[in-house]
Amino acid sequence: MMADRYFNPFQAIDINIPTEFHEEFTRYCQRSANAIIDQSPFQRMVDLWFLSVCVAARQGLEPADIAKYDTRKIIDGSIFGSDPWRVHALMLIAISKSGDVQIVSEPRKMISLANGLAVAGLPKVIDMLKDGDAEPIWNLSDAIDVMLRKRDVA
């Protein structure tokens, strides 16, 4: 039951993203301890994926239709067990976006919705990483800074 703080309803669900984004994931996520952090700001792939979800939700983007894409698995759902707050966050996003609290009993639907948002948000996050004169970590930080200071959310 949920009261267990380590309960992860997404344990058995894989997260697949369109193949066209795979290179960006390997480019911007740290794949070894020797990674250059300035160039690859995300410690794990799930961090880039989750930030894309957040940006899409923040900007009021519609979830993308994943069925249209050729996809590839990048994240194992078990990873949410190590960040229990993300489980709650995904549930809250699902409730808000679907307008239906009943969705909390359907982990696949929740992940599908979040993944749709991630795919919609990914191009934005990639732009944030690239746009600017500095290394990706600083470009991204500046863009998030601006986004958070802007109160007029879509």
Partner 1 sequence: MKLLRAEFLNFRMLRDLELTFSSKPDRKLTVIRAANESGKTTILHGLQWAFYGDPALPGKGEGFRLHPIDWKAGEGNRVEITVTVDFELTSYRRASGQMREARQRYRLVRSTSEELDSRSRRSGSTVKLYKLNDSGASSFGAPEAFVNDELPPELREVFFTDGDRALSFIEANAAVSDKRQRVQRAIRSLLGLGVIDDAIKHVHKSAMEVNKKAKQVGGDGELNAIATDLDDMEDKREELEAQLEDANQQFRAFDESVNKIDRKIDAALQKGDKEKLRKAINDTKENIKQLDTQLEAANKEHSELFGSRSIATDLLAPVFADAFERLGELHEQGKIPSTTIPVLHECLDAEVCVCGEALRAGDPGSDKRRAHIHKLIDDNRRADEIQEIITELYYGAKELQGEGDTGSSAWLNEYTKVVERHDDLQELRERTGREFRKLEKDLESLPDTDIQGLRETRRQYKARRDSYLSKKSVAETRLERLRKDQDEMEAQRDRFLREQKKGTRILAESQVTQDVKKVLQRAYERITHEELQKVSELMNNIFLEMIGADPDQGAIIQRTEISSEFDIIVYGPNGRTLNPDRDLNGASRRALTLAFILALTKVSEVEAPNVIDTPLGMTSGFVKRSILRSAVRESAQLILFLTHDEIAGCEEIIDENAGVVFTLTNPAHYPKMLVNDPGVVERKVLRCTCDHHKDCQLCQRRFDMETDLDVAS
Q: Which residues bind partner 1 (CB under 8 A)?
A: 1-3, 5, 30, 32-34, 37-38, 41-44, 46-48, 50-51, 54-55, 57-58, 83, 85-86, 88-89, 91-93, 95-97, 99, 101-102, 104-105, 137, 140-141, 144-145, 147-149, 153
For 128, other C-beta atoms within 10 Å of its C-beta total 21
**132 closest CA partner among 67, 41, 65:** 41
Closer to partner 1 by Cβ: residue 43 or 65 = 43
Q: Residues 103, 95: contact at Cβ < 8 Å?
A: yes
**Cβ atoms within 10 Å, residue 17:** 24
Cβ proximity to partner 1, 12 vs 101, nearer residue: 101
Length of the chain counted residue by residue: 154
Minimum distance between the CB of residue 66 and partner 1, rounded to whole angstroms? 20
Contacts of 109 (CB under 8 A, 6+ apart): 94, 98, 103
- Residue 72: CB minimum distance to partner 1, A: 12
Q: How far is the CB of 147 from partner 1 (least distance, A)?
A: 7
Closest CB to partner 1 among 66 and 104? 104
Q: Which is nearer to partner 1, 51 or 119 (CB)?
A: 51
The shares of helix, strand and coil residues in the chain, as percent rounded to the nearest 5, are 60, 10, 30
